[in-house]
Amino acid sequence: MEARVSRNEDHTRHNPSDVDVPIPGASSVEAPSLVEPIEPREPLPPKPDQDSPETVSPTGVPTGAAKTAVSQSGRFLTMAQGTRVRETDHSLKAGPRGPILLQDHHLREKITHFDHERIPERVVHARGAAAHGVFVANGAGVGVSKAGFLGAGTETPVFVRFSTVLGSRGSADTVRDTRGFATKFYSDEGTYDLVGNNIPVFFIQDGIKFPDVVHAAKPHPDREIPQAQSAHDTFWDFVSLHTEAQAHTMWNMSDRGIPRSFRTMEGFGVHTFRLVNEAGETTLVKFHWKPRQGVHSLVWEEAQIINGMDPDFHRRDLADTIEAGAYPQWDLGIQTFPDTPEEMFEGIDLLDPTKFVPEELAPVQIIGTMTLNANPTNYFAETEQVAFHPGHLVPGIDVTNDPLLQARLFSYIDTQISRLGGPNFSQLPINRPLTPVNDMLRDGMHQTAVHGGVAPYKPNSLDGGCPFLAGEDMNAYIEVPQELPASRKVRESPATFDDHFSQVGMFFRSLTQVEQDHVIQAYTFELGKCYEENIRIRQLQSLANIDERLCAEVAQGLGLPTPASTVTMEESAASPALSQIGKTWPIDGRIIGIIADESSDLESIDSVRQDIHAAGMVPLVIAPKGGKLGTSIVVQRTWLTARSTEFDAILVAGSSAPGSDATDSRDAKAGDPTGYASVDPRASLMLAEAYRHAKALGGWGNAANALAAAGVPSTAPGVVVGDDTSAVVEQLKVLLAQHRVWERFPAA
C-alpha cells in the first residue's frame, strides 16, 4: 500500500479519492501514522483490558452499554442527532469574510456542549485514578457474613478508585496526604461499596466536624494556596486545637502519607462494621486490604521532586502496570470482634474512628483476593462519574453507630446529586448494578430509563401489585435489629472517646528508628511552613503528650523550647505490624535504570536486561540522547527526560573500552567518550539522588568511577559493582526485596 497525503491542506474534504496523491518514496509501513487518515475504517476491537463489566438497565435489561462505547474510529462524524457532518473547521458565515450566522446549529451545539464539559469536582478526593478488576472470595468470610460475594470461589467484578484527599483534580499525585481506596463490588445481590482510605484512623470522631477539618486543610480561602498540602497555618491551627485529629495526622506525617504507588498501599474500611451470618449471628469487623506487592513509601525529597517531574506518577504507574499485564492484587482481610453491648475490644472503643486495633491483638483473617486487570476506557465516564456511598450495602453487611459513619451515610448521596446533576446517577453505566433493578424511583434530571406501567407505588392493583417485597428467605436486605441502650438525646461523645494521645504515641514507638526520623522530619517541615509561631507552640504541646523524643527533636528543629507533657499516658504494647520495614516483598514490576552511552559494553547491557526481565522487573536504558545504542539497544530515557525518582535501582553500564578510567569531565572534553556517562552532571545527579534516597545502585566494568564521580562510595551498603553482571543482578534482587537500603539512611 502506498502512503497518501492530501494535496489540499484542508484535510476535511469529504471526498478523499480525488485529493490524494502518493508520497514518492515513502515507506509503506510508517507513512499512515504520519498523515491524517482520510477514509473511514471499521472500529478497532476493544483492547482486552478495556472490557468493562457488562451493565443492565435500571429495569434489569442487559444493555452492554460499557461494551459498545462510542469511539472515533471507523465512523462518520455526526451531530448529536446523528446527522452526518460535512465540514467541522469553518463556521457557517455570510461569505468568507462575513459574520457567523446564528443558524449554524453544528457550531452552537459543538460550543455549547464544550462549555458544559466539566462537572463540579469532588469536594474532597477530587484527584483520582481507577481500574476494573475482580474479587475472588476464599470462603473464610462465610461464617461471619451471609453476603453472597464472600462464598468460596465466587467471582465479583469490582471497580476501584484511588485518590488524594486535599488537592484539586489537576494536582500532583505524590503530595503528603491520605489516599482514598474506594471499591465497588458489583455483586449478584446488589452493589456493595467499601469506601476506605490507606490510613485506618480518621481526623474526627463525629461527622458534624467534617466541613471544619476539610475547610482547615483545603487552601486558604483568600489566596487559594497552598494546593494539595497540609503544610500550612489553617490545617495546623485546627489540628493543634482539636486534639482528636492527632491520630490521623501522625499517620500522615509517617511514610504512609507518601506511598510509593497505589499498588503498594494498604487499605482500611476505618469504621467498625457489623456482619451477620445465615444464622443471624453478628460480629463486629474492621476491613483491611493487604497489597501483595508489599507496603512501600517514597521518601519526602523524592516525593517533592516527582511532583515536578511527573505529577501523574501514581496514575501512570497504575495504568502502565495494568497495561503491561502485571496486575496488582490485594487480599481482603477482616479483624473480628465479639458483638458485645459495650462495643469495646481490649479497652479500645470500636465506635471511635480515631482508633485502630493492633493486628497483634486481632489478627487480620484473609477472606478473598482482588486483582485489578483492566484500565478504564474513558476517564470521565468511569473514574469521574463513579459514585460511591458507604450506604450501598448488601445482605450480611450492616453499619454500626460510629458517629462518623452515620454522618457519611447522609453525605454521599447528597454530594452525588450535586456533582452528577440529579438523583439518577445510579443509571450511569459505571454505577449500574449488575443485578436487576426494579425500584420505584421515577423521573428527575437525566432519567435514562423508559419505565413502563402506571403504578410506581405500593400498594397497587393496577400493575398487578408489582413489584413484590422479598422476605428474608428471598435475600431481602434486613437491618440488624440491634438493641439500643435506653438513653437521652445529647450532643456529646462517650468518655471512651476522650484519650487522644496514648495510641498515637504507641504508633510512633512501634516504628523503626528510620521511620521515626521521617516522622520527626515531616512534623518539622510542616510546622516550619506555618507562619504563626503560636500554632507551632500549640502543636508542640500535643507532641509532648504523644512522645517525649518526638517533641524534643521537632522543637529543636523549629528552634523552640520543648514543653512538658500535660497528660498521664497509658503505655500500651508496641505493634510491630505498623512498621513498613523489615520484611521482604516480591520484586515484580520494580524499575531498574541502566545508565549507558555509546562507549558502553552493549553486550553486557543486553544480558543484564534479560536477567532483569527474567526476574519480572523492568529495565530502562538511559543515555545522553534518544535513538539506539549500537544497532539494537533502544534508548528509553535520556539525560533530559530521566530523573532518579522513576527508578527503584540504577545500574551503570561499564565501558567496552578495556581499562577506560574516566572520573571527571576533563576526559569527556578531551574527546575521550568512555568517561561521558560517568561525568555528565545529570547522570551524576541521578546517582547521587538515588544514593541519598537509599536505593540500590551498582554496575559493572568501570561503573565504580561513575559512582565515585557522583560521590557514591562503591563500598557503601546497597552498592553492587562487579564484573559478573549476573551476580550484580542477583544482589540487586535481594536488595530490592527489602525495597530500600535502610541502613544507609542515618549515614546519608
Which residues touch 326 (CB under 8 Å, ≥6 apart)?
Answer: 588, 589, 616
Give the residue at shortest CB distance from ligand HDD.
180
Query: Is residue 311 within the footprint of ligand HDD (CB under 6 A)?
Result: no
Residue 149 to residue 172: CA distance in whole angstroms: 35
Write each residue from 166 to 185 as x if it is in contact with ligand HDD (CB under 6 A), else as -, in one continuous string.
--------------x-x---
Query: Is residue 412 within the footprint of ligand HDD (CB under 6 A)?
Result: yes
Point out which span in 5-13, 79-87, 191-199, 662-670 binds ligand HDD (CB under 6 A). 191-199
- Closest CB to ligand HDD among 135 and 745? 135
Could you tell me if 171 and 164 are in contact, meaning their C-beta atoms sit under 8 angstroms apart? yes
User: Exactly one of 125, 248, 296, 389 is catalytic; which is it?
Assistant: 125
Among 187, 191, 197, 431, binds ligand HDD (CB under 6 A): 197
> What sign does the CA torsion over 192, 197, 202, 204 have?
negative
- Closest CB to ligand HDD among 127 and 740? 127
Could you tell me if 234 and 181 are in contact, meaning their C-beta atoms sit under 8 angstroms apart? no
Query: Is residue 141 within the footprint of ligand HDD (CB under 6 A)?
Result: no
Among 404, 596, 623, 694, binds ligand HDD (CB under 6 A): 404
Among 26, 107, 407, 567, binds ligand HDD (CB under 6 A): 407
Among 220, 185, 221, 217, smallest CA distance to 202 is for 217
Query: Is residue 125 within the footprint of ligand HDD (CB under 6 A)?
Result: yes
Write each residue from 353 to 372 as x if it is in contact with ligand HDD (CB under 6 A), else as -, in one continuous string.
x-------------------
* Residue whose C-alpha cell reads 413484590 in the numeric block: 468
Among 258, 270, 295, 514, binds ligand HDD (CB under 6 A): 270
> What sign does the CA torsion over 81, 86, 88, 94 have?
negative
Write each residue from 81 to 120 as x if it is in contact with ligand HDD (CB under 6 A), else as -, in one continuous string.
----------------------------------------
Could you tell me if 595 and 624 are in contact, meaning their C-beta atoms sit under 8 angstroms apart? no
Write each residue from 372 to 391 as x if it is in contact with ligand HDD (CB under 6 A), else as -, in one continuous string.
--------------x-x---
> What sign does the CA torsion over 489, 491, 492, 494 have?
positive
- Closest CB to ligand HDD among 183 and 725? 183
For the chain, how far is it from start to end, CA to CA, in angstroms? 60
Cα 724 from chain centre: 38
Could you tell me if 34 and 3 are in contact, meaning their C-beta atoms sit under 8 angstroms apart? yes
- Closest CB to ligand HDD among 186 and 210? 210
DSSP-assigned beta bridge partners for residue 460: none
Most distant pair of Cα atoms in the chain: their distance: 96
Residue 492 to residue 203: CA distance in whole angstroms: 17
- Closest CB to ligand HDD among 172 and 709? 172
DSSP-assigned beta bridge partners for residue 191: 186
Give SS3 for 741: coil
Point out which span in 37-45, 122-130, 726-734, 735-743 binds ligand HDD (CB under 6 A). 122-130
Query: Is residue 217 within the footprint of ligand HDD (CB under 6 A)?
Result: no
Active site residue 125: yes
Among 369, 411, 541, 665, binds ligand HDD (CB under 6 A): 411
User: Exactly one of 138, 197, 198, 424 is catalytic; which is it?
Assistant: 197
- Closest CB to ligand HDD among 128 and 396? 128
User: What is the chain's percent helix, strand, coil content, to nearest 5?
Assistant: 30, 15, 50
Residue 179 is assigned to a ligand binding site: no
Cα 356 from chain centre: 22
Among 59, 227, 415, 638, binds ligand HDD (CB under 6 A): 415
Which residues touch 9 (CB under 8 Å, ≥6 apart)?
Answer: none
Three cell numbers at 216? Answer: 482547615
Query: Is residue 210 within the footprint of ligand HDD (CB under 6 A)?
Result: yes
Residue 75 is assigned to a ligand binding site: no
Query: Is residue 395 within the footprint of ligand HDD (CB under 6 A)?
Result: no
**Of all helices (H) and strands (E), which one includes residue 527?**
helix 513-528
Applying CB under 6 A, what is the total number of residues that bind ligand HDD? 27
Residue 419 is assigned to a ligand binding site: yes
> What sign does the CA torsion over 475, 476, 477, 481 have?
negative
Point out which span in 31-39, 192-200, 393-401, 575-583 binds ligand HDD (CB under 6 A). 192-200
- Closest CB to ligand HDD among 210 and 508? 210
Residue 345 is assigned to a ligand binding site: no
- Closest CB to ligand HDD among 221 and 627? 221
Query: Is residue 128 within the footprint of ligand HDD (CB under 6 A)?
Result: yes
Q: Which strands make up the sheet holding 618-623, listed edge to edge?
A: 637-638, 618-623, 591-595, 649-652, 696-699, 719-721
- Strand ranges for 383-449 from DSSP E: 397-398
Query: Is residue 291 within the footprint of ligand HDD (CB under 6 A)?
Result: no
Residue 269 to residue 334: CA distance in whole angstroms: 10
Among 161, 315, 590, 733, binds ligand HDD (CB under 6 A): 161
Among 5, 38, 92, 123, binds ligand HDD (CB under 6 A): 123
DSSP string for 273-336: EEEE-TT--EEEEEEEEEETT---B--HHHHHHHHHH-TTHHHHHHHHHHHTT---EEEEEEEE
Residue 412 is assigned to a ligand binding site: yes
- Closest CB to ligand HDD among 390 and 619? 390
Residue 210 is assigned to a ligand binding site: yes
Query: Is residue 124 within the footprint of ligand HDD (CB under 6 A)?
Result: yes
Point out which span in 301-309, 405-413, 687-695, 730-738 binds ligand HDD (CB under 6 A). 405-413
Residue 712 to residue 688: CA distance in whole angstroms: 7
> What sign does the CA torsion over 639, 641, 645, 648 have?
negative
Query: What residues numbered 27-56 form the site for ligand HDD, per CB under 6 A?
Result: none
Annotated binding site for heme: 122, 161, 210, 408, 412, 419
| Residues contributing to the site for ligand HDD (CB under 6 A) | 122-125, 128, 161, 163, 180, 182, 195-197, 202, 207, 210, 270-271, 353, 386, 388, 404, 407-408, 411-412, 415-416
Q: So which residues are the catalytic ones?
A: 125, 197
Q: Which residue ranges are tagged as binding site?
A: 122, 161, 210, 408, 412, 419
